[in-house]
Amino acid sequence: MRVRSPRILLTLALGAALAACGHAPLSHTQASATPPPVRNVIFMMSDGTPNEAWALTRWVKGARLASDGILTGAVQTYGADSIITDSAPGGTAFATGRKGTDKGIAVAPWRVTIAGVDANPAQAYAPLPTVLEGARLTGRATGLVATANIQHASPAAFSAHTHDRGRYNDIGEQQVYQDIDVVLAGGEQHLLPMADGRGVRQDNEDLVRVLQGKGYDFVRTRAQMHAASGTKLFGMFARDDMVYDLDRAQFAPDQPSLAEMTRKAIDVLSRSEKGQRHGFFLFVEGSKVDWAAHANDPAGVISDLAAYDEAVKVALDFARADGQTLIISTSDHGNGGLTIGRREATRYATTDDDSLVTPLRRATLTGEGLARLMAQDKSEAHIRDVLARHWGVQDLSAQEVQAIQTAPPQTWLQYVLGPMLSSRAGVGWTTNGHTGGDPFLYSFGPGQVSGLWENTALAHHMASVMGFDLPALQERLFVDAVPSLAALGLQAEVDRTQAANPVLRVRNSQGEEVRLPIHKNELLTAERTHELEGVVVWSDQTGKVYVPRQALTLIRAKLVR
């Protein structure tokens, strides 16, 4: 029988008490007076990182991590409908200050099952203003950096609005029309037309050409990124996600590291006219720590977390020299239930470098990298050679060889390989899914945060130090268009003649019309295109269309007599 300590029991009691009182502020810092505005905010996230991965990475690296010196607390990550959250509601909380429903990207929750979470059925599915959008409206330069496709849940939550995180084409289109100054990640296929075989966009729009027309330097390689000299930069370094950092040298040497992308983003944002005058907001994600944790692949977790920590160091170096930059670093949730130690490891008191660190340091590729090498040849000889050369595994069993050979096509081979390295290093896992603990919180600079924080509170804190209020932006960016236009005597409806290109059409009684393409920041008249300060969002779940209040002003001037 495992006996819980008094400290654990006290923690549980306090947690229950806080839940009962509606999740009041959890730290002195949260309850303190509004801090003064700062120029720059860098919000960094290692997606799906088990807390014990930090210690494991430190052991394998053999030195302290850059993040160690700024560890300040922890974050509660539950969502509107689950104690164990997913990346979409997790990102939504950090971006909007509201708990989200599973799969929703920066929209109000429509299913609320957790006590104390604000439920407003009338607002269900409505887009919510994000920290990035608010920062842009203050005049700041803005940026997104990730190692997944940029349309993936976490970066999407700061830059798009949809109830379905899987709508990558819609998300990608919104991101292109959000006037974000720097975007560096993977995911180019969602910007290119399907018709000519270059991409997967069913509307067959070429958004790369759109970006170039907007004045962006569009780059695809590390060298091109470093050579870019403009103040608007869009880098797509892979059709989908970028490779793991450990696999980069062998499989994608033209891709930049997360640290390099972070350094370039900070450089471009800070020297831009907007950055010089007002500062910047930058989101940085080490995306694939989560993916490796799902696969129980310690090589992927450790190498990508180490790469993320290098990006943290880049941000810290800038912040220390600048003196006006707030850094917040955390994770959206845990994953995998990683432990240093396994259920069958009875001699844990003699765990040393040879048993833990050495097997992990031998890894020169992740499980995904090994899977690439074995994709065309799953002969026993080749399997044994690959694992011996790249993982130092000389004792592969016949059962393990068979498991690799017979893995069904729908099973990522990384999920089969990861546990093989884990067992040899004494690393344990409890699940291939997310976990509900409180990830570490790291912070540095003016407005630094400490203690136990709600994920939603971090969004409001970032908004506060940048001088704006997220709820106040709701009526500026997202007005329910149809009833508002009806009050002006105008008719509005969504035209789906082209299913992949819906448009809000607004007419007066004289037959005059303006058009607002969904997912874009444009209002089209017969004479010109007006650029709006936010994107047009259509919820096909409710039939409502949301437009910036600025659009109503323009429509009134054009159509109301």
By the 10 Å C-beta count (0-12 exposed, 13-18 middle, 19+ buried), 146 is classed as: buried
Domain-located, residue 20: no
Lowest mean per-residue pLDDT among 79-83, 265-269, 407-411, 543-547: 407-411
Q: How far apart are CA 554 and CA 561, in angstroms?
A: 13
- Amino acid 37: pLDDT: 61
Better-predicted residue by pLDDT, 410 or 37: 410
Residues 465 and 538 in one domain: no
Residues 190 and 253 in one domain: yes
Domain-located, residue 345: no
Residue 11 has pLDDT above 90, yes or no: no
Residue 97 has pLDDT above 60, yes or no: yes
Domain-located, residue 14: no
Better-predicted residue by pLDDT, 410 or 184: 184
| Percent of the chain residues topping a pLDDT of 70 | 93
Residue 149 has pLDDT above 60, yes or no: yes
- Amino acid 352: pLDDT: 85
**How are the residues of the chain apportioned to helix, strand and coil, as percentages rounded to the nearest 5?**
40, 20, 40
Q: How far apart are CA 513 and CA 484, in angstroms?
A: 16
Q: How far apart are CA 58 and CA 303, in angstroms?
A: 11
- Last residue within a domain, chosen from 441, 472, 503: 472
Residue 13 has pLDDT above 90, yes or no: no
Residues 100 and 118 in one domain: yes
Number of domains comprising the chain: 3
Q: 410-434 burial by CB neighbour count: b if 16+ within 10 A, else e?
A: eebbbbbbbbbbbbbbbbbbeeeeb
Residue 353 pLDDT level (bands cut at 50, 70, 90): confident
Q: How far apart are CA 91 and CA 77, in angstroms?
A: 10
Residues 388 and 509 in one domain: no
With CA atoms as reference, report the closest residue to 418 among 308, 331, 288, 311.
288
Domain-located, residue 256: yes
Q: What is the DSSP string of 441-510?
A: EEEESTT---EEEEHHHHHHHHHHHTT--HHHHHHHH-EEHHHHHHTTT-EEEEE-SSTTS-EEEEE-TT
Residue 110 has pLDDT above 50, yes or no: yes
Residues 56 and 186 in one domain: yes
- Last residue within a domain, chosen from 425, 442, 462: 425
Task: Give the pLDDT confidence of 477-518 residue by residue, as tens digits.
Answer: 999 999 999 999 999 999 999 989 999 999 999 999 999 999
Residues 251 and 110 in one domain: yes
Provide mean pLDDT across the span 96-117: 98
| Percent of the chain residues topping a pLDDT of 90 | 89
Residue 419 has pLDDT above 90, yes or no: yes
Residues 269 and 140 in one domain: yes
Task: Give the pLDDT confidence of 295-348 residue by residue, as tens digits.
Answer: 999 999 999 999 999 999 999 999 999 999 999 999 999 999 999 999 887 788
By the 10 Å C-beta count (0-12 exposed, 13-18 middle, 19+ buried), 511 is classed as: exposed
* Torsion over CA: 540, 534, 146, 305 (sign): negative
Decide if 90 contacts 435 (C-beta within 8 A): no
Angle ∠(18,23,26) on CA atoms, nearest 5:
75
Residue 22 pLDDT level (bands cut at 50, 70, 90): very low
- Amino acid 208: pLDDT: 99
Domain-located, residue 9: no
What is the maximal distance between C-alpha atoms in the chain? 85
- 517 has which bridge partners? 503
- Amino acid 410: pLDDT: 77
Residue 412 has pLDDT above 50, yes or no: yes
Question: What would the two tokens of residue 450 be?
Answer: 């400490």
Question: What would the two tokens of residue 490 be?
Answer: 């105008």
Domain-located, residue 29: no
Cα separation values, 287 from 151, 279, 301, 331, 362, Å: 12, 25, 10, 10, 23
Please report how the helices 413-425 and 367-374 are oriented relative to each other, as an axis angle in degrees rounded to 10.
130
- Amino acid 35: pLDDT: 53
Tokens 């164990």 identify what position?
Answer: 84
Residues 267 and 390 in one domain: no
Residues 272 and 197 in one domain: yes
- Last residue within a domain, chosen from 402, 425, 448: 425
Q: Residue 392 is part of which domain span?
A: 364-425
Residues 333 and 267 in one domain: yes
With CA atoms as reference, report the closest residue to 45 among 433, 442, 364, 543.
442
Q: How far apart are CA 485 and CA 553, in angstroms?
A: 10
Question: What would the two tokens of residue 32 be?
Answer: 């303190």
Residues 164 and 115 in one domain: yes
Q: How far apart are CA 472 and CA 464, in angstroms?
A: 12
Q: How far apart are CA 339 and CA 50, in angstroms?
A: 9
Domain-located, residue 301: yes
- Tell me the CATH number at 498: 3.30.457.10
Compute CA 245 distance to the chain's CA centroid, rounded to the nearest angstrom: 17
Task: Give the pLDDT confidence of 363-402 residue by residue, as tens digits.
Answer: 999 999 999 999 999 999 999 999 999 999 999 999 999 9
Provide mean pLDDT across the span 67-79: 99
- Tell me the CATH number at 231: 3.40.720.10
Tokens 């009041």 identify what position?
Answer: 24
Residue 34 pLDDT level (bands cut at 50, 70, 90): low
- Amino acid 3: pLDDT: 35
Domain-located, residue 322: yes
Residues 275 and 395 in one domain: no
